[in-house]
Amino acid sequence: METKIQGHNDLVKDTQSGAILSINNAAYRAALKRSSNMEKQEQRIQQTNAEINNIKGELSEVKDMLKQLLEVVNDGR
């Protein structure tokens, strides 16, 4: 059984457990959506970081190839 909390229309107290519960479904749905959005944002950040690290590796390979090419050209003089 639940009893309403005076001055707080969206809160009730569970008489068995003593827990204070929110009955505001809109706020609950909004909190779930915020949580979902945060998870999606974190996934995008992780994916972007992985892509950046991949690009860094490829750039390093290109630099090494250019150095090798310059060595060959300079040795041929």
Q: First CA to last CA across the chain, in angstroms?
A: 92
Give a three-class secondary structure readout of the chain: CEEEECCEEEEEEECCCCCEEECCHHHHHHHHHHHHHHHHHHHHHHHHHHHHHHHHHHHHHHHHHHHHHHHHHHHCC
Each of the 77 residues of the chain gets a pLDDT tens digit; together they read 899 999 999 999 999 999 999 999 999 999 999 999 999 999 999 999 999 999 999 999 999 999 999 999 998 76
